[in-house]
Structure 1
Amino acid sequence: MTTPPGPPPYQPYGEQPPYGGQPPYGGQLPYGGPSPYGYPAPRPTNGLAIASLVVSILSLVVCAGAPGFIGAILGHVARGQIRREQQEGGGLAIAGVIVGWLGFALFVGLVVFFIAIGVFVENSVDCTTDSSGTFSCE
């Protein structure tokens, strides 16, 4: 038995020509590289923008806004990086800045409120010790 002359009816595995400029199976392009399909690669989201929003929200929920200024500063830094490096996440950074500064303002307001309450109580309550050593407040 002899084989008829001409090309084989099929091509061996791994030797197929790429279809439409696509990389062969297993030959994937690195993340962020040019797309073989003509679409632009997605821009990465800035990590500091995400961290800014997370820290700002946690400062409100866990610490009554005390570390909110950290989230706000992270958001300001993230906005600068986003502009320079053409990244995504501008909305996250702005939200982190707003929530961070509002949380910190809430914390400062609470501190001022409790100091005012302490001063009011100190001035309105008269405590004395008499000659027998008895302590009394009126």
Structure 2
Amino acid sequence: MTSNTPENPYGQPAPQAPYAQPAPYGQQPAPYGQQPYGAPAEDPGKTLGIVGLVLCFVFSLAGLIVSIIAKKKSTAAGFKNTPANVGVILGWIFTILGLIVAVIYIIAIVALLNNPGLVSN
């Protein structure tokens, strides 16, 4: 910024403070008292959401729990965690399907134990 004042009659740029670092090429220096922009914030539940999604395929109840925790962490930080959302949905679906299959197996075992004639030797 140049100015024609009695102290600066030729409009020379004002000298910067001796401790100021020059701005990298193509960037404007940060105003004094402010920090320059850094890297964007990282989602705290991102990795946990991916782990929860993968875990849904192996052990659905644990995947559901981990995905819910990841979703809550991301929501609290203001992020949308798509792997955690998918993990919650798949966790519920696989848990319900697992319970249905378990009930069918139990019914089949009880039916076979009560009717030994159903099993042919």
Unpaired runs of 5+ in structure 2? Answer: 1-21, 30-35
Unpaired runs of 5+ in structure 1? Answer: 1-15, 24-32, 60-66, 127-136
* Structure with bigger gyration radius: 1
Given that 1:55 and 1:70 are in contact with CA atoms closer than 8 Å, whether structure 2 keeps it comes out as yes
In structure 2, the residue matched to 1:21 is 27
Aligned counterpart in structure 1 of residue 107 of structure 2, from 107, 113, 116: 116
Offset of residue 121 of structure 1: 1.5
Which amino acid counterpart does residue 69 of structure 1 have in structure 2? Answer: L
User: Hey, which of these two has a bigger chunk of strand by percent?
Assistant: 1
Q: How many residues of Structure 1 are paired with residues of Structure 2 in the alignment?
A: 91
Runs of 4+ off more than 3 Å: 42-45
* Equivalent-residue separation in structure 2 for 1:99 and 1:20 (angstroms): 46
Root mean square deviation, CA, Å = 3.0
In structure 1, the residue matched to 2:50 is 50
* Equivalent-residue separation in structure 1 for 2:102 and 2:89 (angstroms): 20
- For normalisation by structure 1, the TM-score amounts to 0.53
* Equivalent-residue separation in structure 2 for 1:18 and 1:122 (angstroms): 79
Alignment deviations for residues 70-121 of structure 1 (CA, whole Å, 9 cap, x no partner): 11111111111111112342x2111101111211222221211111111112
Answer yes or no: is 1:41 the counterpart of 2:40.
yes
* Equivalent-residue separation in structure 2 for 1:81 and 1:53 (angstroms): 15
